Amino acid sequence: MMIKSLRNTLLLAAGALLLAACSSRPAPQIDDPTARLEGPVVDQRWNLLLVGTNERLEMPERPHFVIDRDGRVSGSDGCNRLIGRAALGENNRIEFSELATTRRACPRAEDAARVTGMLENAYRYLIDHDRLVFFGPDQRVLGGWRRVD
């Protein structure tokens, strides 16, 4: 039931972003990276739900991240501690930068790299209730996250 709900959310989000991408407006710019961040993405813990539209990962620990008001990112790729920076812009534009992990030995290192890659390639986001979906620059769904209350 939860996967079906997320799939429906992802389909609606993809349609909305496709319409936005077809407009003649230039791509939104990222706000000043030194400005304090606000919004529903900030100061929330987000746990990985799906990679792409339907793939669940079984990891040694749950992949997650938090973006604080100063733009610092902290969390886990499922194996390693994750740190970096995030910037937000108009029209739900997001950019992660300076991402680094601790690089511990991990039986699921390829999947951990996919989680980090999802963040590195995130271009826009959509929030639907407690779900956060990342889209790439080509409007393809990269994956979904769930807010932890």
d(CA 87, CA 78): 23
Cβ(55)–Cβ(126) below 8 Å: no
User: For residue 78, which of 53, 54, 56 has the smallest C-alpha distance?
Assistant: 56
In this prediction the pTM is 0.78
Can you give the pLDDT of all 149 residues of the chain as single tens digits? 545 554 554 444 444 443 344 333 334 455 455 568 999 999 999 999 999 999 999 999 999 999 999 999 999 999 999 999 999 999 999 999 999 998 888 889 999 999 999 999 999 999 999 999 999 999 999 999 999 98
Task: Give the residue from 47, 70, 71, 68 showing the smallest Cα distance to 59.
Answer: 47
The position carrying tokens 């929330």 is 44
Domains and CATH numbers, the chain: 2-23+36-148 (2.40.128.270)
- CA dihedral for 16, 22, 23, 28, sign (positive or negative): positive
